[in-house]
Structure 1
Amino acid sequence: MTPLGVLQAVLQGRPDQCRVYFLVHCRAGATAAGCTKQRAWWSTRLLLALKATGRAPERQRARERRVSILSRAALSGAERPPCRLLVAPSGSSASTRCGIPSSGIWGPKGRSRVLCSASARMARIRISSTTVAIFLVIQTGFLLFLCAQHGGFMSQSEEKPPQVHILILSSWRSGSSFVGQLFSQHPDVFYLMEPAWHVWATMYQNSAKVLHMAVRDLIRSVFKCDMSVFDAYLPWKRNVSDLFQWAVSRALCTDPVCELFHRTDITSESACKAVCGKSPFSKVEEACKSYSHIVLKEVRIFDLKVLYPLLTDPSLNLKIIHLVRDPRAVVKSREQSAKALARDNGIVLSMNGTKVEDGQYKVLQEICRSHVQIYETATLKPPSFLKDRYLMIRFEDLVRDPLVEITAMYKFSGLQLTSKLENWIYNITHGQGPSRKREAFQITPRNAVNVSQAWRTVLSFQKVKQVQEVCKGALNILGYQLVDSEKEQKDLSFDLVLPHRKSQFSWASFSEN
C-alpha cells in the first residue's frame, strides 16, 4: 500500500475532522541523523499524498491540520485523537501497540507496517437521547418481527399432515379382519387389508425379519397414497382386483373407484366383487387422496422398532392400534385355516420357501414373542415420539362391550361413530351360530362373545396346556388367566380374561420360558 492509499483509507472524505498522527520508530542502533532522515522522508511523502487527494492545496495547512510527526513518548501522553494512523518499520517494538491487522507501506528502509488505522469514531457526533430511544424501539420491533416470522415458519413445518394414518398391528386369526372392517365401513376412511401380503407372496423364500424393511417401505408409500410401490409386486397391474382382498375395502367399492355404493353406505364384499373388480388400478391412488384417514391392517410385522422410521417421519401422522387375542383362541382359529397359513408359517420360521404346518406351535411362539416385544416397547420406557400414538386392544374386551371399545378406538383415531355404523356393529356382533371353516376369512354376523370363548369347549386340555407353556409370558402380560385343569377350562362361568393392568413381566423372564 502506498502513502496515498493509506491517507485515502484513513481520511474517508472527512479530512477536516481527522488528524493523522505518524510515528516513525527507528530501529535499534540507528543514529539520530538516520532517524531524522527517515522522519523527513515519510513527512514529505505524506504531505505529497495529501496534496494529491485534492483536499490540501496548501502544504502548510496540511502540515498543521492533518499531519503530526510524533515521537514514541507523545503517544503515551494524555492526548488521544479521534482517529490516528500509526506507522512503524516492520519488526520494531512499536508493532505491539495495536491489535488491528496491519497492511504494508514501503519506506526508504524497506517494508513498514501500519499498526493502527483510523479509530471507529471518525468524528464527534452528538445524538440526542430521544433519537437513541427511537432507534432502540425500532430495533426491538424489528427483532420481534424476525422472531415471530421464525416461529411461524417453525409452526408451519411442525404442523401435522392433513391425513391421519392408522396401522392396525396384529397377527393371523386374532380378529384383525373384524377390526379392519370397523374402520373400512367408516365414510372418512380409506382402508386396505394387508397390503404387505404382496411382499411375502413375491419374496416367500426370505425370512420375516429380512422382509421387514420391504414391508415398511410399502406401508410408507401406501400411507402417502403412492401406489407405484406395487409395481415391484404387481408389474402387470391393470385393475383394482389385483390387490389382495380388495373387495373388503368400502373405499374401493365407492366413488371414485366404483359407483356401486355411496360413501356413507355399508358395503357388501360379494356385491363389490361382482361389479367393481375391473375398475382401473389408477383409481386406487385417486381414492386414497380423497380421504382424511388412511387405515392399514397388517399381520406381518413382529418388531415395533421396525416402525420407528415411520413414527418419526414428519410427513406421516401415524398411530398404532395393537390388537391381541388369547393365544388359546388363536390356536383354535388357526386350525380352521391351517393350509391357507402354511406359506406364511414357512416365512416366519425361515424355511426358504417351504410350506409348513404349525403342529409344534413354533409359529405361535414367535407370534406370542412379538406381542410381548411390541407391548413392552410401547409401554416400558417408550421413546417420546410414541406418546399418545399407541393403543392396545384385546379382542375379548372388544366383543364383550363393542361400542365402548370401538368408541375408544375411534376417539384415538380422530373419528366419530355414526348411527348407521352403530347399528351395523350391533348386527355384526349379535348374529346367530358359530363361525364355520368356509367363513374363516369373512366377516359375517355371529355371536362374537361365543366365538371368543369357543376354544374352551373345542380344544383338548392337552393342547391347552401345550399352548400355555409356549405362550406363558404373553398370557401373563396381556392379562389372560391360565387354567390348571380341564374342569376350569370347560367352566364358562370362570372368567379367564383379567382386568387389564400393566404387568411387571419383563422380556428377560419371557426368554427363559
Structure 2
Amino acid sequence: MKVSGGKFFLLFLIIAQCMGFLFVIMRLQYGKPPSPAKKPERMHILILSTWRSGSSFTGQIFSQHPDVFYMMEPAWHIWSTLPNNKITVLQMAVRDLVRSVFLCDMSVFDAYMPQKRLKSTLFQWETSRALCSPPACHIFHRRDIISQTACRTLCKSYSFDIVEKSCKTYNHIVLKEVRVFDLKSLYPLLKDPSLNLKVLHLVRDPRAVFQSREKASSELSYDNAIIKKGLSSNQSIKTSEVPYKLMETICNSQADIYLSATNGSHSALASRYMMLRYEDIVQNPIGKAKQMYEFSNLNFNPKLKDWIHNLTHGKGNGNNFVINSRNAVNVSKAWRKSLQFESVQKIQNLCTRAMKVFGYKLLKNKEEQNDLDYELLLPIPKWAKTSEKPSKFELQG
C-alpha cells in the first residue's frame, strides 16, 4: 500500500514529537545528579524535673546513648549569673537558652560565661558522654560507656567552641532541666517549626525529695535563695519552716506542669509529653528505659541494657550528685527509715495535691512508714491520663 507524501510527513512529525518527548523525560530523570539521601529527623528531648528526684540518673540513661548529645541543666548559668531575680523573671531567659542549645547555638552562653572559656566551664560538662567523645574529646570512642571521673580527668582541656561543633554532629539533642517551674513558658518552643520537641516529665515522691534535699542543703543553697524570693512577702516564715515552704512551691509547680500538659488545652502536647515516676523506673529500669527510648525514637542496644542493670543493682547507696552503681530500690525507700514522721506529716499536708496527682499514698502513722512492704505507689489516676479535669475534691480530699 502506498503512503502519500502528506501522510508520510504527518507520520514523521508524530514520530519526531514522540522522540523529543522521550528525550526530555530521560534528561529530567537521568540528566541530574541523584538527590541526596534524606537526613534522619532531628529530635529535641527536654527532661523536666526538680532537684533530688532522680533526674541525674535518668539523664544518664540518655547521655550514655551513642546517638545522643546531652547537656545537664544549662539554665544553671542563668540562675548563677542573675541570683537577685525571682523565678518568674528568669523563666523567659531559661526558655530562650533552652531553644538556643537545642539548635546547637552555644553563643547564647556569652551572656552568662566569661569571654575566655573552656568546655570545662560548662556546668557538669563531664556528665555528657558526647562531650567526652569525638569530636569533643579523642580519648574515648562514641560507643564507650564513659564515667564522669574518667571524662573529667582526661577530657577537660578543650576550647568551648568544641561544644557547638559536637552538638551539630547529633540528631538527638537531650537537655535535663530542674529550673522550669511553668510549662506555659515553654509553649512557644512547642510551636517553633525549627524544633521537634518532646517533654519527658520525671517526678518523685515529695517525702523522698524533701529528705534528699535536706541531705544536700548546702549544695542547693543558691537555688533555694532564688525560690525563696517567690514566697509571699506578707508571710513571716520561721527559719525552720523555710525548707517546707520551698517544698510546697516545688510540689505545686510539678503538679501544675503535669495538669497543664494533660488537660487537653494544648493539642501540640498530646503525643509529645510523657510523665514517669522515679519509683517506677528503679523497680523496672530496663522496661522504663525502653519506654523512654521508644518515646524518643532511639534504639536500645545490649551494651546499654547491661550498663543500666549494673548501675541499678549495686550494693551501696551512692553519693549526692554522682552517678555510680547503687541499689536503686533501697535508695528510693531510704527516706522511710530516716525522715521523722512529723516531717512526713508536714510534707503530706503541703503537697497533698501533687501526691494525689502522681499517685502517692499518704501515710497514717509511723508504723506504716517503717513497714517497707507497705506499698505507697498507687495507679496513676484515670483522670490524670485523659483530658478530663479532676474535681477540687479529688485533688484535696
**Greater mean alpha carbon deviation, residues 166-175 or residues 334-343:** 334-343
Contact 1:247 1:272 in 2 (8 A): yes
Q: Secondary structure of 1:259's partner?
A: coil
Equivalences for residues 43-82 of structure 1 within 5 A: none
Equivalences for residues 359-398 of structure 1 within 5 A: 359-398=242-281
Q: Provide Cα deviations, 1:261-299, integer angstroms capped at 9, x if missing partner.
A: 100000011111112111111110010000110000000
Contact 2:357 2:395 in 1 (8 A): no
Contact 1:310 1:318 in 2 (8 A): yes
Letter in 2 for 1:378: A
Find the counterpart in structure 2 of residue 274 from structure 1. Answer: 153
Find the counterpart in structure 1 of residue 21 from structure 2. Answer: none
Q: Does 1:458 align with 2:341?
A: no
Of 305, 312, 318 in structure 1, the residue corresponding to residue 197 of structure 2 is 318
Letter in 1 for 2:374: F
Equivalences for residues 32-181 of structure 1 within 5 A: 162-181=41-60
Instruction: Rate the CA distance shift 1:357–1:348 in 2: closer, same or farther, 3 A.
Output: farther
Find the counterpart in structure 1 of residue 24 from structure 2. Answer: none
Q: Provide Cα deviations, 1:391-419, integer angstroms capped at 9, x if missing partner.
A: 00000000000111111100000001111
Equivalences for residues 78-477 of structure 1 within 5 A: 162-350=41-229, 359-435=242-318, 439-477=319-357
Contact 1:321 1:393 in 2 (8 A): yes
Letter in 2 for 1:486: K
Q: Provide Cα deviations, 1:227-267, integer angstroms capped at 9, x if missing partner.
A: 00000001324210010000010000000011111000000
Q: Secondary structure of 1:213's partner?
A: helix
Shift of 1:463: 0.8
Shift of 1:425: 0.2
Letter in 1 for 2:189: L
Cα distance in 2 for residues equivalent to 1:358 and 1:292: 46
Find the counterpart in structure 2 of residue 45 from structure 1. Answer: none
Contact 2:40 2:171 in 1 (8 A): no
Of 474, 480, 490 in structure 1, the residue corresponding to residue 370 of structure 2 is 490
Q: Secondary structure of 2:274's partner?
A: strand
Cα distance in 2 for residues equivalent to 1:216 and 1:507: 31
Structure number with greater CO (CA < 8 Å, separation at least 6) is: 2
Letter in 2 for 1:256: P
Cα distance in 1 for residues equivalent to 2:79 and 2:391: 28
Letter in 2 for 1:449: V
Structure number with greater Rg is 1
Q: Provide Cα deviations, 1:322-377, integer angstroms capped at 9, x if missing partner.
A: 0000000001111111011111111112179xxx8864411111111011111111
Contact 2:228 2:246 in 1 (8 A): yes
Contact 1:339 1:357 in 2 (8 A): no
Letter in 2 for 1:236: Q
Shift of 1:506: 4.2
Shift of 1:382: 3.2
Cα distance in 2 for residues equivalent to 1:178 and 1:496: 22
Find the counterpart in structure 2 of residue 140 from structure 1. Answer: none
Q: Provide Cα deviations, 1:407-461, integer angstroms capped at 9, x if missing partner.
A: 11000000011111000000000000223xxx20000101000011111111111
Cα distance in 2 for residues equivalent to 1:381 and 1:160: 32
Shift of 1:160: 11
Shift of 1:161: 8.6
Shift of 1:509: 6.0
Letter in 1 for 2:58: V
Cα distance in 2 for residues equivalent to 1:315 and 1:357: 47
Contact 2:361 2:377 in 1 (8 A): yes
Instruction: Rate the CA distance shift 1:161–1:337 in 2: closer, same or farther, 3 A.
Output: same
Q: Secondary structure of 2:138's partner?
A: coil
Find the counterpart in structure 1 of residue 26 from structure 2. Answer: none
Shift of 1:462: 0.7
Contact 2:352 2:396 in 1 (8 A): no
Shift of 1:503: 4.1
Taking structure 2 as the reference length, the TM-score comes to 0.84
Cα distance in 1 for residues equivalent to 2:394 and 2:124: 35
Instruction: Rate the CA distance shift 1:472–1:486 in 2: closer, same or farther, 3 A.
Output: same
Of 495, 500, 504 in structure 1, the residue corresponding to residue 380 of structure 2 is 500
Instruction: Flag structure 1 segments of 5+ consecutive residues without an equivalent.
Output: 1-158
Q: Secondary structure of 2:113's partner?
A: coil
Find the counterpart in structure 2 of residue 53 from structure 1. Answer: none
Contact 1:184 1:249 in 2 (8 A): yes
Contact 1:161 1:317 in 2 (8 A): no
Find the counterpart in structure 2 of residue 18 from structure 1. Answer: none
Q: Secondary structure of 2:144's partner?
A: coil
CA RMSD of aligned residues (A): 2.0
Letter in 2 for 1:332: Q
Cα distance in 1 for residues equivalent to 2:201 and 2:82: 26
Contact 1:240 1:277 in 2 (8 A): yes
Instruction: Rate the CA distance shift 1:342–1:160 in 2: closer, same or farther, 3 A.
Output: farther
Q: Secondary structure of 1:361's partner?
A: helix
Q: Provide Cα deviations, 1:91-139, integer angstroms capped at 9, x if missing partner.
A: xxxxxxxxxxxxxxxxxxxxxxxxxxxxxxxxxxxxxxxxxxxxxxxxx
Letter in 1 for 2:306: N
Q: Secondary structure of 2:224's partner?
A: helix
Cα distance in 1 for residues equivalent to 2:292 and 2:100: 24
Instruction: Rate the CA distance shift 1:254–1:231 in 2: closer, same or farther, 3 A.
Output: same
Instruction: Rate the CA distance shift 1:324–1:263 in 2: closer, same or farther, 3 A.
Output: same
Shift of 1:167: 0.2
Letter in 2 for 1:472: T
Cα distance in 2 for residues equivalent to 1:248 and 1:409: 19
Taking structure 1 as the reference length, the TM-score comes to 0.66
Letter in 2 for 1:450: N
Q: Secondary structure of 2:154's partner?
A: helix
Cα distance in 2 for residues equivalent to 1:427 and 1:174: 20
